[in-house]
Amino acid sequence: MTVWKSPLFLSGFLIIVSLFFGSIIYSHFVPNDKQPVMQIRYDENKNAIDGAPIAPFKDMPFGTDRFGVSILHKVIDGAKYTLGVAFFIAFARLFFGTLLGLIISQLPKFILNTLSKLFESFYYAPATIIAYLLLYPVLQIFTWSLPRDIQTIFAVILLVIIAVPPIMVTVASETSKFLENEFISSVKVLGGSRLHTLRKHVMPHLRPHLSILYSQQLIATLLLGAHLGILQVFIGGTDFITLDPLENNTVPVAMINEWSSMIGANYFQIRGDRWIVFAPLAGFAITILALNFMVEAMKRQYLAKSSYTRRTRKVRKVKTPVQVKTLSQEQFDRIMKTGTDN
C-alpha cells in the first residue's frame, strides 16, 4: 500500500492543501482593501452598544481586533503567507542540507567524523535564541534603513542557514552507513562511479527519509516562527503605530497577516481579548497536527521496511510462477520417443 492510500496521510495532506490554496482563492476574491471591518457595533435601534475589539459570535464569527478588522479574515488571509514561507524554508533547508550531506559523506572517514562531531552541536543550540539575536536588530531596530523585501529575504536566508548543519549531518551519517553495504563494493568493482552510486543506489534509499525530514522541517519552521512572533520579530516586516501620542504608547504591528506576527503583535491582549491571539494559535495547532498525521503515516509506510526490500518484493510479485503440466502415461511415452507431445 502506498502512503497515498493511508487515511492518516490523506487527512493531513488535505488539511494542509485546503488551508494553503483556500487562502489564495479567498484573498483573490476578498483582498485586504475589501476586508470586513466593524469598529462599532449597533443594536436594532442604531444605538452603539459595543466597540472594537468585538468578541466572537456576535456579528463577526471570530470577532475583531482592536482596529475592527475581522479575525477570521486575517487568519484565512495569513495562511498562505505562513504556509508558503514554511514550505520554502523547509525545502531550502532540505535541498542544501542534502547536497552538503552527500558531499561530505564522500570525504575520508576521519574528516567525516570530525565534521559530524563539530556540527552535532547545532542539534542542541537553541535556534530561537540564535534567530532572535540575529534578526531582532534587522527587523526591529533598523527597520527604517532597509526595505521590507530585504528584511524578509534576510530573515528567510537566516532561517534556512540555521537548520542546514543538523540536516547535513543526518544525511551524511545515513549515507555513510548505507555505503558500508557489501553490494556497494560490487558496484564499485563493476565500474560504478560515485555519482552513479549516489544517484542509483543512495538516493532511492534516502528518498523516504527525506520525505519525513521535509515534514519535520515544516513543523520546526512553524514552531520557530511562532516563537519569534511572541518575541515580536515579524518575518513579513514590522511597522510601528502610536496608540496614544500623549503617553508615547507605540506598538509594533505586522505588515502582513502572517500567523506568528498576529500572535506577537497582539500578545499583550491575551488576558483581556484573548480571541485575537487564540485564532492564529488554532491555525498553528491544526497545521502542526495535520503535518504530524503525515509524518506518522510516512513512518509507518517507509520505515517499516527499506525501499530495497519493497522493490525486491515487488519484483517477486511480478514473476509468473512456472505452470506444472500433468502428463498421462501415453503422452509421457510419446515425448520420450519423439521428443514432442504432438
Is 59 within a domain? no
Q: What is the pLDDT of residue 150?
A: 85
**Residues 297 and 6 sit within 8 Å (Cβ to Cβ):** yes
Judge whether 104 and 115 are in contact, CB under 8 Å.
yes
What CATH code is carried by the domain that includes residue 288? 1.10.3720.10
Residue 154 lies in a domain: yes
Question: Hey, what amino acid is at 274?
Answer: R
CA angle 23, 26, 27 (to 5 degrees): 85
Q: List, as one string, the DSSP characters of 241-286.
A: EEEEGGGTEEEEEESS--HHHHHHHTGGGTTTSTHHHHHHHHHHHH
The distance of Cα 111 from the centroid of its chain, to the nearest Å, equals 31
Contacts of 73 (CB under 8 A, 6+ apart): 30, 35, 36
Using one digit for the tens of pLDDT, what is the confidence trace for 140-183?
Answer: 777 777 788 888 898 999 999 999 988 998 899 889 888 888 88
Distance CA 46, CA 116 (A): 69
Asked if residue 186 belongs to a domain, the reply is yes
At 40, give phi and psi (nearest 5°).
Answer: -130, 135
90 belongs to a structural domain: yes
In which residue ranges of the chain is pLDDT below 50? 307-313, 315
Considering the domain boundaries, does residue 187 fall inside one?
Answer: yes
From CA 184, how far away is CA 170, in angstroms rounded?
20
Question: Quick one: pLDDT at residue 341?
Answer: 63
Question: Would you give the distance in Å from CA 64 to the centre of its chain?
Answer: 29
Residue range of the domain that includes 196:
3-35+70-336
d(CA 335, CA 342): 8
Cα separation, 204 vs 315, in Å, equals 16
Long-range contacts from 131-134, C-beta under 8 angstroms, 24+ separation: 131/158, 131/159, 131/162, 131/224, 131/228, 131/233, 132/228, 132/231, 132/233, 134/158
Distance CA 257, CA 283 (A): 12
Q: Which residues contact 314 (CB under 8 A, 6 or more apart)?
A: none
Whether 112 is in a domain gets the answer yes
What are the beta bridge partners of residue 35?
none
Q: CB atoms < 10 A from the CB of 253, how many?
A: 17
Rounded-to-integer distance, Cα 342 and Cα 334, Å = 8
**pLDDT at position 149:** 83
Count the residues in the chain. 342
3-state secondary structure of 193: coil
Close Cβ partners of 254 (under 8 Å, ≥ 6 residues apart): 234, 236, 237, 238, 239, 261, 262, 264, 265
* Overall domain count for the chain: 1
The angle subtended at Cα 291 by Cα 285 and Cα 295, nearest 5°, is 140
22's CB contacts (< 8 A; 6+ apart) are 76, 79
Residue 60: inside a domain, yes or no?
A: no
Instruction: Assess if residue 27 is contained within a domain.
Output: yes
Please state the separation of Cα 106 from the chain's center in Å. Answer: 28
Calculated CA dihedral for residues 46, 49, 50, 55, nearest 10 degrees? -100
